[in-house]
Amino acid sequence: MGSLNRSRIPFSAAGGGSHHHHNHTLPVFTRAHQIGALALVFATFLLTRAFDRLSCVFPSPAPLSTGRSAASLFDRAGALSWPDRGYGSGLDLKIYVYEEREVDGLRELMRGRDGNISPQACLKGQWGTQVKIHQLLLKSRFRTLKKDEADLFFVPAYVKCVRMMGGLNDTEINQTYVKVLSQMPYFRYSGGRDHIFVFPSGAGAHLFRSWAKYLNRSIILTPEGDRTDKRATSAFNTWKDIIIPGNVDDGMTTVHGSTIVQPLPLSKRKYLANFLGRAQGKVGRLQLVELAKQYPDKLESPELKLTGPDKLGRTEYFNHLRNAKFCLAPRGESSWTLRFYEAYFVECVPVILSDQVELPFQNVIDYTQISIKWPSTRIGTQLLEYLESIPNEEIEGMLAHGRQVRCLWVYAPETEPCSAMVGIMWELQRKVRRFHQSAETFWLHNRTIVNRDLVEFQKWRMPVPLP
């Protein structure tokens, strides 16, 4: 390092602005100058630190806490209050809903090849959300009739129900979906990024065999999560898709009025836990059935029949479900189970025994407050001992939190302050893009959108070539 009393050339002399030579006397830096300079630097350092510390006392926006209480999800009027971060301060989006006769093939995806399957017949069961979400969107204040102003496009289809009722087979479903998509220029415009599809069962988007080719960028609404234990590729993508609640029996989710079964006080419940489902040859479920035989006074697991005189009616089913403190929810064919959602309406703490499960609205719900997730590899006596050790006071606290958020499992109109539809709208809003592109869209200097042949978007002819 050079000495501090080295001679220095002033900037006026060092710069290239003047080429005239002047006889300037170079300043002499004494020991006193050096000490003064060091003192000035030190004083500046202390002053800067003081300002830094002062700035730290000003409050900054509070981060979204992972331990956010259930009560904080609602405003003073009781309406669902979604967090501003990443969503905006209010709902503001426009969704275009395709009409069934607008696109060739869409009616078949909703009513079968012969057109004789009614939406009413498809309202119940796991596939009911396909119908409910469609019908609620038709009445939504966020619906637009103009494609040009739409942020998102909803493609209605009841294929799970149609397939179960023999209206279309797997090959016909695949062929019809491809035909439908080729009739949608806006789908090609964005590569499907702004198009919404509902797949309501454990099969998820796999109901459409070619989903990976055509819907790999689209928004999929499904109760299903990861299925990589069954297939090479999961149809659920954390970043673009939305997990939705299962379709609980309407008689238990009545927004106004009494439900078909009321919860029991904890002190009057006969069992510690229950599992109400068919074993289906699944390891976890078979273990629970055996555990119930070992501890019949603690765990109830009756053999459920799909048909015949021993089949439980819906009232009888919910009467059984409400008679335990904990409702066990193991995986079945896939990772999700409707029992998880049903448990909240009989006020039974759900115990998830499905390692790969995905849960809805994780942006606002802290599931540690309202449920238990236990390793499926540890189903046995240890599980019952653990559940038995939980005091009733803590169970009551979990049930209280559950009562506050279960409205998010109800497929009610968005005019309700809290419903599954309100939650879905908030999630959809986060998917809205101002700009869309795909591998087959191009644009010119005057903002004209064209295809590979330089044909303007408004002049694209049907069918539109798909990837």
Q: d(Cα 205, Cα 236) in Å, to the nearest integer? A: 8
Count other C-beta atoms under 10 Å from residue 98's C-beta.
21
How are beta strands 219-222 and 242-243 bridged, if at all? parallel
Contact 411, 136 (CB under 8 A): yes
Q: Which CATH superfamily is domain 266-410 in?
A: Glycogen Phosphorylase B; (3.40.50.2000)
Q: d(Cα 129, Cα 161) in Å, to the nearest integer? A: 10
User: What pLDDT, on the 0 to 100 scale, is given for residue 246?
Assistant: 93
Sign (positive or negative) of CA dihedral 240, 246, 251, 256:
negative
User: What pLDDT, on the 0 to 100 scale, is given for residue 452?
Assistant: 93
Return the domain boundaries, the chain: 29-60, 95-247+432-436, 266-410
Q: d(Cα 427, Cα 310) in Å, to the nearest integer? A: 42
Per-residue DSSP letter, 463:
S
Q: Name the amino acid, one letter, at 60.
A: S
Q: d(Cα 415, Cα 147) in Å, to the nearest integer? A: 24
Contact 408, 361 (CB under 8 A): yes
Structure tokens at 397: 């606290």
Contact 364, 73 (CB under 8 A): yes
pLDDT tens for the 467 residues of the chain, in order: 433 333 333 333 333 343 444 444 444 545 555 555 555 555 554 444 443 433 333 233 333 334 456 767 787 777 877 777 667 778 999 999 999 999 999 999 999 999 999 999 999 888 899 999 999 999 999 999 999 999 999 999 999 999 999 999 999 999 999 999 999 999 999 999 999 999 988 788 889 999 999 999 999 999 987 665 566 677 888 899 999 999 999 999 987 778 899 999 999 999 999 999 888 888 999 999 999 999 999 999 987 766 667 677 889 999 999 999 999 999 888 888 899 999 999 999 999 999 989 999 998 899 999 999 999 999 999 999 999 999 999 999 999 999 999 999 999 988 898 999 999 999 999 999 888 888 889 999 999 999 999 999 999 999 988 87
How are beta strands 242-243 and 271-274 bridged, if at all? unpaired
How are beta strands 349-353 and 324-330 bridged, if at all? parallel
